[in-house]
Amino acid sequence: MYLKNSKIIVVKIGSSLLVDKNKKIRSKWLSSFAKDIKKLKSNNKKIIIVSSGAIALGCKKMNYNKVNLKLDKSQAIASIGQIELMNLFSKTFSKYKLNISQILLTLDDTEERRRSINAKRTFENLFRLDYVPVVNENDTTATSEIKYGDNDRLASRVAQITNADTLILLSDVDGLFTKNPKKFKNAKLIKRISNLDKDIKNINIKGTTEFGSGGMDTKIEAAKICNLAGCNMIIANGLYLNPINQIEKKNNCTWFISTIPKLDARKKWIISSVSPKGELIIDDGAKKALLNGKSLLAAGIKKVSGIFKKGDHVKILDFKNKEFARGLSSFSSDEINKILGCHSNEIRKILGYISKSEVVHKDDMVKI
Ligand code: GLU
């Protein structure tokens, strides 16, 4: 099964799974979900949760109705509700000895390469510290032009930047149906989609579910992002207790299988769009290390040319000026000029601030 082979899994849960129609918190469900996460973690999976619920819980606390809220008010409500949301997670997850952390993202954090690399590193460090990051959109400052708008797309961007293997969208329906299952008895659940455009051509996406701020159309948008990122995606019914266990046992959901190998997707992303802004010339020792799959450290850099910022795309040349790799630089050209040839533990002293130790991380590098 695909889920068994997934190392990094992003799970998105919507507000309706946390709070029911009578504004009651679904505590039993959240506990069962925490149990699922515990089990995945004991199988060595790295888990990221993308959770909505800030506005729903803010409304619950303030006794407001979500439907009547204007944008600026809803931002204040999200600020109030986000703490409630994290408290709820913290209280429930600590019962299962699961550590959680909070990450609030704005659109630019995943769309801008430099910021997305920073975000990716934070996720990786949280995995190392054995924490489960709980992500939401930073609703308090996002305006309509700079907004993911729904957590389906936010979750797919998170899956993309973290190089996840599977994104699970827990929804209020079993998956994508041939017709709206709430209206048509003969609607059939589609179990597997491997060609997005072809397989969903005849389905009216707009009519298939009306729940949450993300309907089926935003889920399809998310599937497109995942497909390009080499990440599989599942739409499954999250209303059941132990929803992930249900997927593993019954597989009563829709799988969107990415047709692009993950590595190729990442490579494409690294070397796509912008042309290289500069060059790093490295010594033979560093070249050998890179060919063995290691990251590029400052010690191995002989020369830097061009002017570039952190996160920019650079060429990596060997001592004979032959290009053999490309990657995203974790330092600006100015910084590299100061630290080239130096040992990684000297960087902090030279620059005067803490930074990463790799100049180009192996995950951000493509050998050509
Ligand atoms: N970020 C919003 C919240 O926490 C929800 C967005 C969505 O449901 O898609 O309330």
Asked if 157 and 205 sit in the same domain, the reply is yes
pLDDT above 80: residue 214: no
Model pLDDT for residues 336-364, shown as the tens digit of each residue = 999 999 998 999 999 998 888 899 999 88
C-alpha–C-alpha distance, residues 203 and 208, integer Å: 9
Confidence class for position 206, pLDDT limits 50, 70, 90? low
Q: Which atom of ligand 1 is nearest to the CA of 152?
A: 9
Model pLDDT for residues 49-103, shown as the tens digit of each residue = 999 999 999 999 999 887 777 878 889 999 999 999 999 999 999 999 999 999 9
Model pLDDT for residues 115-132, shown as the tens digit of each residue = 888 899 899 999 999 999
Q: Which atom of ligand 1 is nearest to the CA of 136?
A: 1
Asked if 228 and 356 sit in the same domain, the reply is no
Q: What's the gap in Å between 350 CA and the centre of ligand 1?
A: 43
Model pLDDT for residues 227-275, shown as the tens digit of each residue = 988 999 999 999 999 999 999 999 999 999 998 887 777 777 776 645 7
The pLDDT value given to residue 259: 85
182 and 208 Cβ atoms separated by less than 8 Å: no
Model pLDDT for residues 133-150, shown as the tens digit of each residue = 999 999 888 776 667 778
The pLDDT value given to residue 271: 65
Q: Which of 262, 293, 327 is a domain's end point?
A: 262
Count the domains in the chain: 2
Model pLDDT for residues 180-199, shown as the tens digit of each residue = 777 888 889 999 999 887 88
C-alpha–C-alpha distance, residues 126 and 354, integer Å: 18
> Angle CA(208)–CA(214)–CA(218) in degrees, nearest 5?
75
C-alpha–C-alpha distance, residues 30 and 239, integer Å: 10
Asked if 283 and 235 sit in the same domain, the reply is no
Q: Which of 262, 283, 301 is a domain's end point?
A: 262
Task: Kindly report the protein residue whose alpha carbon is nearest to atom 6 of ligand 1.
Answer: 150
The pLDDT value given to residue 212: 42
Residue among 10, 34, 30 nearest 18 (CA): 30
Mutate to test the pocket of ligand 1, among 61, 73, 136 (most ligand atoms within 8 A of CB): 136
The pLDDT value given to residue 1: 61
197 and 232 Cβ atoms separated by less than 8 Å: no
Name all contacts of 57-60 with Cβ < 8 Å and 24+ positions apart.
57/18, 57/19, 57/81, 57/84, 57/85, 57/88, 58/82, 58/84, 59/23, 60/19, 60/23, 60/25, 60/84
Task: Kindly report the protein residue whose alpha carbon is nearest to atom 9 of ligand 1.
Answer: 150
The pLDDT value given to residue 213: 46
C-alpha–C-alpha distance, residues 4 and 276, integer Å: 38
Name 45's Cβ contacts closer than 8 Å, sequence gap at least 6: 6, 7, 8, 9
Q: Which of 210, 238, 262 is a domain's end point?
A: 262
CATH number of domain containing 332: 2.30.130.10
The pLDDT value given to residue 5: 93
Model pLDDT for residues 148-165, shown as the tens digit of each residue = 778 999 999 999 999 999
Q: What's the gap in Å between 213 CA and the centre of ligand 1?
A: 7
Mutate to test the pocket of ligand 1, among 18, 75, 137, 148 (most ligand atoms within 8 A of CB): 137
Residue 124 token pair: 């990786």
Burial of 45-79, coded b for 16+ CB within 10 Å and e otherwise, reads bbbbbbbbbbbbbbbbeeebeeeebeeeebbebbb
88 and 25 Cβ atoms separated by less than 8 Å: yes
Query: Average pLDDT of 218-234?
Result: 91
This prediction has a pTM of 0.81
Query: Average pLDDT of 22-28?
Result: 94
Assess if residue 147 is contained within a domain: yes
Annotate 71-95 with DSSP letters as a single string. HHHHHHHHHHHHHHHHHHHHHHHHT
Asked if 254 and 360 sit in the same domain, the reply is no
Confidence class for position 210, pLDDT limits 50, 70, 90? very low
